[in-house]
Structure 1
Amino acid sequence: MASCSSPLPSRIFRGWNAGSTAAASPSRSARPRHGGPVKPPLLRYPVRQTAFVVPDLESGIAHWVRVMGAGPFVVMRDFVGIDLTYRGEPSDTAVDYAFGQCGDIQVQLIAQPGPGRSIYRDMYAPGEGGFHHMCALVPLEDWDSQVAAFADAGYELAASLTTSAPVVYFDARADLGCFVELYGHTERSAGFFAELRTLHEGWDGVTDPVRARVPRNQEAS
């Protein structure tokens, strides 16, 4: 792998010469054109978490600790949540979660050991894994408006549940290649994000990379 001081391979520069100052600025015809006024994005709040399906939590955590320096990970087993729905129908599909911090963003790892329909099986068969969704914390005073914005734009409500706050998942795979999670911003949900950041900042990268946690009222992100 090239170091930070090494010249970048020329193949990554799409259509311009890295050694030419004049070519570094795209031509007028190459710049994006807007056909009308710029509309604000549907998502009004920053992405705070990226989530990945893994075949099993143990190997997934080990890879994220070794490769990315993420962690330590807080693990929750057999999580269902309250009033879980999948595609508008009640669901009792249980999953295993692991949450850890990686720099400025939280990472969630998800494994589904047993059978059952879920938004995770919508993308990955047993034994498979990869990127699944992004999560934003939405203030409760703007919750209905933010949820309606995604629904009105045509994104299907794929799953919903309640933890320490309301949670919904919209299927945005046609446009983004993933799901979008909206998670209610409460003192307790924000506190969980802060807790993981504090654990990460005080961690030596080696000691106790896995921290078990018994879900309180099935609370998780």
Structure 2
Amino acid sequence: MSDIHHIGYVVEGDLRDALPGFIMALDTGPFFLIEHLRFDETTYRGAPAEYDHSSAFAATASGMLVEVSQVHSASPPELRDLLGRPGFGHVGWLADDLEDETARLRARGLEPFHTGRTGPADAVWFDARATLGHHVEVLRSAPPLLGFYESVRAAGAEWDGVTDPIRTRG
């Protein structure tokens, strides 16, 4: 396993409205908002699925990334039930070999329930609620993804705590 790369929260209401509370509580920012992330390929328990969400990313002073998400829609409804629970949602890490990491986690009793792929982002979600109380997301390490995360960390290191706290990304 790689080090935990990010922690993720889910909000029930509007993501933009929720972010100031995260900025204050976690003393972190700015958040980079990506609205209506739709995957090119999505599965739920191996069958085709749909998942539309918005996520905002910021880095803490230690460099840990924080992801705050709003689920707009997910199908089948069981996928929404799993991904749309408000509160602490998941921990995530990067893997150079996503297939090997998936096999490793399966061998430890975690079952994947959701996959999503779009552009350089390729992720597998595991249901770890029985042991950890939350999900685990493993992302395939890819240069464009690493570049985005590094830009979030750099912005956080330079942020004055006030200017432009929510920044929209494509």
Using the size of structure 2 for normalisation, the TM-score is 0.89
| Bigger radius of gyration | 1
Pair 1:199 & 2:155 matched = yes
- Counterpart CA distance in 1 for 2:34 and 2:46 is 25
Q: Who is 2:31 aligned against?
A: 73
Q: 2:81 aligns with which of 118, 121, 124?
A: 121
Displacement after TM superposition at 1:152 (Å): 2.3
Pair 1:58 & 2:31 matched = no
- Structure with bigger strand share is 2
Question: 1:22-45 CA deviation, whole Å, 9 max, x = no partner?
Answer: xxxxxxxxxxxxxxxxxxxxxx21
Pair 1:211 & 2:170 matched = no
Query: Does the CA contact (< 8 Å) of 1:49 and 1:105 recur in 2?
Result: yes
Question: 1:46-85 CA deviation, whole Å, 9 max, x = no partner?
Answer: 0010000012212321111122221111111111212111
> Runs of at least 4 residues of structure 1 off by over 2 A?
113-121
Q: Who is 1:131 aligned against?
A: 88
More deviation, 169-178/56-65? 56-65
Question: 1:138-177 CA deviation, whole Å, 9 max, x = no partner?
Answer: 113xx32211011222212111111314210111110000
* Structure 1: gaps (5+ residues): 1-43, 215-221
The one of the two structures with greater contact order (alpha-carbon pairs below 8 A, sep at least 6) is 2
Percent identity of paired positions between Structure 1 and Structure 2: 28
- Counterpart CA distance in 2 for 1:82 and 1:179 is 22
Q: Tell me how many residue pairs correspond in the alignment.
A: 166
Displacement after TM superposition at 1:123 (Å): 6.0
* Structure 2: gaps (5+ residues): none
Cα-Cα RMSD: 1.7
Change (3 A) 1:197 1:174: same
SS in 1 for 2:131: helix
Q: 2:139 aligns with which of 183, 199, 207?
A: 183
- Counterpart CA distance in 1 for 2:23 and 2:33 is 14
- Counterpart CA distance in 2 for 1:50 and 1:111 is 14
